[in-house]
Amino acid sequence: MPSLYYISLGFPPIPIGNESSWNKSVDCCSWNRVTCDHVTDNVISLDLTYSQFHDTLYSNGSLLLPKLQVLKMPHCGLIKFPHFLNSLKTLTHLYLSSNMISGEIPRWFWGVSHHTLEHLDLSTNLLEGGIQQLHWKRLLYVGLQQNSLQGPLPILSPSTRYFYANDNGFTGEISSSICQVSSLLELDLSNNSLLGTVPPCFGNITYLESLKLSSNKFQGPLPRFLVECVNLSILLLNHNEFNDIFPHWLKAPKLRHLDLQSNNFHGRINFTAFELSFPALRYLFISNNNFIGQWPTKVFSNTSLEVINLSNNKFGGPIPLPSPITMYYSIASNVIIGKIPYLICNATKLEMIDLSNNSLTGSFPGCLVNFSNTLSILNLGMNQLEGTIPQSISLIHGLRTLDLSRNQFEGTLPRSLVNCTNLEILDLSCNQIEDAFPSWLGKLLELTILILRSNKFKGLVNIPKGPLIFQKLRILDLSNNNFGGPLPTNLIMNLKGMKNREDEQDKPLYMTWPLVLSYRTLFTSEKMSYENTVTVMIKGKETKLVKILTIFTTIDLSCNSFQGDIPEAFGHLRFLIGLNLSHNYLISSIPLTLGNLTNLGWLDLSSNMLSGGIPRVLGDLASLGYLNLSNNQFVGQIPQDKQLSTFSSESFSGNLGLCGTPLPKACPGDAQSPPLSSLTPFDHEGHESWFKRKVVWIGYASGIVIGISVAYIAIETGRPKWLTQAVRTLERSAAQWMEKSKRKAIKFHR
């Protein structure tokens, strides 16, 4: 009776699943996940997926399974290669993916089942170093993806058919030796740092079905020898520096996925050749290039295209109609003109429509309400559309993003929008909508972004006490309207999404939404998703966020007619990154509770009638990179310590009663410290304890949020000088004041 217990490696594994049924007294061929040869009773396949092992697994013991052919050990928490592999001489398939194996591949590993191994999967580990050559003579499948391997690409065995080296750090050019692997069917080198041109000899790999070179530094024209690869089904060349015309010359009758995004492709497309060359095409991505010309209106009508992305080119003329089965359709950022044709609604499976940033005219296409169950994203922003937003828009039940910004829509906001219960992003900025504040939108439980900037909204922003509404809002922009009365304290108190993150630990970093497509990842590792974009004011400048962080939070109530005090309730929004209350009629002093906003990256209170002194609590805001208190009625000396000392005179100008650096106006007795009576209650707790108190309050998780937020803002707006100084200040203070035995220091990296 064969047994797996002739080994000294800590087997059996700690039970995770079915291996708990492994009983020493029973023939192991009857065990779950063990397969034997029914003639010889030799164990030929062993599946240990999701098992856990004792430390003795890594010793020099031997696994006495002389005929073992298949060994599966993914998701086992391995930290290095088990040495018993060296004793296995007949393996054909070895699966070690999705572990934590780190460091360089040991030399002895290249001899494992040297004459028999056909399938090797080392993907999704922490492997480093280089690989010169894969020595197995019969190797058909090589999975090295999602590691940290470096150096030039390894030389492949001539028998290799599937080679996946994507998501590593490979460098240099593609060696022409790869063209000797004439049996190659799939090659994935995406997401590395490879450069140079594609070797012309690629035409020798005539059986090639999938070629993925995306996200590297390849340049030059495409080799015309690719025309020999008549079996190509997937060609991904996106995010490189290729400089060529559209490859209609490919004549690829089986090509289903063509991605040329973000290169230097240019010129006109031969549409006749396009239709003839790619009869099986399902995915077409040619965005972010320099293509010109006009697509025939019905060029896609008889195709099977599920995805059409022509955005960010220079295409003109009327809208090319999508295929009847198209799900993802984007012609954004071109020079498309004319009205949105009714025939666009024949594409009844559309999930995403992006026609933004063109020169489209006419009214909101009423037939879009026919997409009641499919349409999730509708972006018509930055066009010349006019008229009213129809009440029937509520029939699009599945809407998650509605962007009608920068058009000429007028009238009131349709109350029926409250029936779009999945709505997360609503951007109506820069139109002519005249209405009261739509407090009824607060009933949309998923609403995360509400932008009503630059319209004709008016009246009070009146939210009654009690109802819990607008709880998930993270971006609120009501700027440049005609709102008046006091700032909406009740609304501020409801903004739970800006107060804590306890319920959002597992959410993605960016607001990107996957799309359900029929053509699955069996043939492609590309993840189909839509990245939302919004324009917000950051540090006094209009900034387009191409990717929206899920932790990005900002409130902009500027350029209205709000009156009265700044509510202390703002101090409860602990995760607020930006606050703009400028150009209103606010009075009184800055509330000390703003000192609680430790994530705040910018604060603009300019052009109001605020008075009193500038509280030193603002100096405790280490993340604060932009401060504008100009054109108010502040008096007294500008605090000279902490963060406030890093700002220029522009931050304080237009306050006749202010004095001290950085203003040219000196204060009486400038060399002396201000009297104790001028300090705020917050200051009485002592200067030296400020960082210690803050670190205890923020905690480790909040530190991550601040770090990501600061880095994000720095990338979007240019790295400011204050960032370096703030980082160094925080590091010095942390080292000095944190108790090492009780707390883990938060370190902000530049």
pLDDT of residue 726: 44
Q: Would you say residue 684 has pLDDT above 60?
A: no
Which one-letter amino acid corresponds to residue 327?
M
Query: pLDDT tens for residues 304-328?
Result: 999 999 999 999 999 999 999 999 9
Using CA atoms of 718, 723, 724, 725 in order, give the dihedral in degrees to the nearest 10.
140
How would residue 690 be classed by pLDDT, with cut points 50, 70 and 90? very low
Name the helix (H) or strand (E) containing 284. Answer: strand 283-285
Mean pLDDT of 406-416: 96
pLDDT of residue 705: 42
Does 330 or 548 have the greater pLDDT score? Answer: 330
Q: Would you say residue 708 has pLDDT above 80?
A: no
Mean pLDDT of 58-81: 83
Per-residue tokens: 270 = 């031969």
For β-strands 449-451 and 425-427, DSSP reports them as parallel
- Cis amide bond preceding 320, omega within 30: no
Query: pLDDT tens for residues 659-683?
Result: 999 999 999 876 544 433 333 333 4
Q: Rounded to whole angstroms, how far apart are CA atoms 240 and 33?
A: 44
Q: Rounded to whole angstroms, how far apart are CA atoms 441 and 445?
A: 9
Q: Would you say residue 453 has pLDDT above 80?
A: yes
Q: Is the pTM of this model over 0.75?
A: yes
Mean pLDDT of 207-221: 95
Q: Tokens 């959002």 sit at which residue?
A: 504
Does 547 or 663 have the greater pLDDT score? Answer: 663
Q: Tokens 């209350």 sit at which residue?
A: 581
For residue 689, give every residue at least 6 positions away whose Cβ sits within 8 Å of its Cβ, in sequence order, or none: 737
Q: Is 473 left (phi over 0), alpha (psi -120 to 50) or beta?
A: beta
Burial 409-435 (b: 16+ CB within 10 A, else e): beeebbeebebbeebbbbbbbbbebeb
Q: Which residue, 575, 529, 531, 579, is CA-closest to 555? A: 579
Mean pLDDT of 425-447: 96
Query: pLDDT tens for residues 606-654?
Result: 999 999 999 999 999 999 999 999 999 999 999 987 788 889 999 999 9
For β-strands 150-151 and 169-172, DSSP reports them as parallel
Three-state SS at 239: coil
Distances (CA, A) of 60 to 55, 84, 109: 12, 6, 13
Sequence length of the chain is: 750
| DSSP secondary structure letter of residue 599 | T
pLDDT of residue 521: 38
The domains found in the chain, sorted by start residue, are 475-659 (3.80.10.10)
Which one-letter amino acid corresponds to residue 174?
I
Q: Rounded to whole angstroms, how far apart are CA atoms 265 and 346?
A: 31
Q: Do 638 and 659 meet the contact criterion of CB atoms below 8 Å apart? A: yes
Helices (H), 576-720: 690-717
Q: Rounded to whole angstroms, how far apart are CA atoms 436 and 457?
A: 5
Q: Rounded to whole angstroms, how far apart are CA atoms 738 and 750?
A: 21
Which one-letter amino acid corresponds to residue 2?
P
For residue 297, give every residue at least 6 positions away whose Cβ sits within 8 Å of its Cβ, in sequence order, or none: 318, 319, 320, 321, 341
User: What residues are paired with 329 via a beta bridge?
Assistant: 308, 353
Does 55 or 488 have the greater pLDDT score? Answer: 488
Burial 518-551 (b: 16+ CB within 10 A, else e): ebeeeebbbebebebbbbbbbbeeeeebeebbbb
Q: Would you say residue 434 has pLDDT above 80?
A: yes
Per-residue tokens: 294 = 């006009």
How would residue 31 be classed by pLDDT, with cut points 50, 70 and 90? confident
pLDDT of residue 302: 87
pLDDT of residue 395: 87
How would residue 536 be classed by pLDDT, with cut points 50, 70 and 90? confident
How would residue 747 be classed by pLDDT, with cut points 50, 70 and 90? very low
Percent of the chain with pLDDT over 90: 61
Whole-number mean pLDDT of the chain? 83
Give the 3-state secondary structure of 605-641. Answer: CCCCCCEECCCHHHHHCCCCCEEECCCCEEEEECCCC
Q: Sign of dihedral through CA atoms 187, 191, 194, 196?
A: positive
Q: Would you say residue 468 has pLDDT above 70?
A: yes
Three-state SS at 735: helix
pLDDT of residue 513: 62
Using CA atoms of 690, 693, 698, 699 in order, give the dihedral in degrees to the nearest 10.
130
Q: Rounded to whole angstroms, how far apart are CA atoms 120 and 369?
A: 51
Does 702 or 412 have the greater pLDDT score? Answer: 412
Q: What is the DSSP string of 456-475?
A: --EEE----SS---STT--E
pLDDT of residue 696: 33
Mean pLDDT of 556-577: 96
Q: Tokens 């009193």 sit at which residue?
A: 612
Q: Do 649 and 672 meet the contact criterion of CB atoms below 8 Å apart? A: no
Q: Rounded to whole angstroms, how far apart are CA atoms 265 and 374?
A: 33
Name the helix (H) or strand (E) containing 430. Answer: none
Per-residue tokens: 98 = 């999705």
pLDDT of residue 736: 38
Mean pLDDT of 116-127: 97
- What would you measure as the largest C-alpha separation in the chain, in angstroms? 102
pLDDT of residue 713: 43
User: What residues are paired with 403 via a beta bridge?
Assistant: 379, 427
User: What residues are paired with 14 via a beta bridge?
Assistant: 52
Q: Which residue, 300, 353, 351, is CA-closest to 327? A: 351
pLDDT of residue 703: 43
Query: pLDDT tens for residues 145-180?
Result: 999 999 999 999 999 999 999 999 999 999 988 888
